[in-house]
Structure 1
Amino acid sequence: MSRKNAILTYTNTLFYPLDPRAEEIHIEDIAHALSQMCRANGHFKKFHSVAQHCINCTLEARARHLSERVQLACLLHDASEAYISDITRPVKCYLKEYCRIEHKLQQAIYAKFCLGDMNEAELKEVEAVDNALLYYEFERLHHQGIHKQPPRVFSSPDTSERNMTAVERQFLQLTEQLLEHIASKNR
């Protein structure tokens, strides 16, 4: 793969989205970028960042007593968006090449943070949490249910409009805590 078409990240790293390398993936870049990206393609009634969504997913996973690995995966499940942004679900399903690029990048991010061996059950848990929070966000921030049957939410997601810097800091703190807990279990 040719190392062309780099982006310059928040930490001044040249990052090649089509050829992601572990040494170029920085949690500071992910936290910073996601804290400034609005969910729902900017169509919520107030600003709600992707980072805040990921934090809420992590806290929901914790409330469900899911493993710390799944909690970390919930925190990082949209991390590829820090490097390639996002496309709304109704359109993304038609963009096979984008989905391939996103998947490869997301796998590189998971591998960087010791989640490259996630099994199908863990990935389904992440997906279930993500979908539950998606429903909750639309209900709270758009006053619209997006499914006939609302999923059960075990936590109290924060949908208040929060300062981006505070969200970025919380994202980084959660990452550090989860990585420490996971590492201590593996010693």
Structure 2
Amino acid sequence: MKMTQGINVPIGPAIVEYGEGADQVIFDITKGGIVFSATTTKQDTTVDQHGDTVVKSIVKGSTAQATVPFALHDLKRLAAVMPGSKLIEDITTGKKKLKVYSGAGYDMLKNAKPLVIKPTDPDATPDDWITIPLAGAIADPNYTYNSDNERVTNVTFVAYPDLSQEGLLYVMGDDFVESTGS
């Protein structure tokens, strides 16, 4: 008897871990899907003798980012990704407020932290993770107050090259794997 075999194409949601240790924030409730994107730009070279035909291309650079549509109104987690904000909490009553100030001149690289996207599929392994060693965060709330829409804060994490790792921008797979040979 011949066994049929399918192709296991992974789908499904993920969580995002931002930061490390006690400062780590986990974005685990999303609406609309976490999107990771990377783009490489290039300069095409042409010469008169070949008209508009590209005779050579040179990579100019790469960018990467992750967008997380965070669906909870959790002020403590939002404070970690809103530049120029200040969380104020009354420990006796548990009441909180998040003050957001105009952020002109805020250095996102200075406060960049590691980010890891981890699919929640039970069959997912660290090989399915995406890590951005230096991610700067910006949060953009988009709240519609009606009975048909969730209030979502789109958090964009911009990747910066980690110069301590030869300009590493992102890692696809298990970031803890080290080379053991060729």
Structure 1 length as normaliser, TM-score?
Answer: 0.24
Which structure: larger Rg? 2
Answer 1 or 2: higher relative contact order, Cα 8 Å, separation at least 6. 1
Which has the larger share of strand?
2
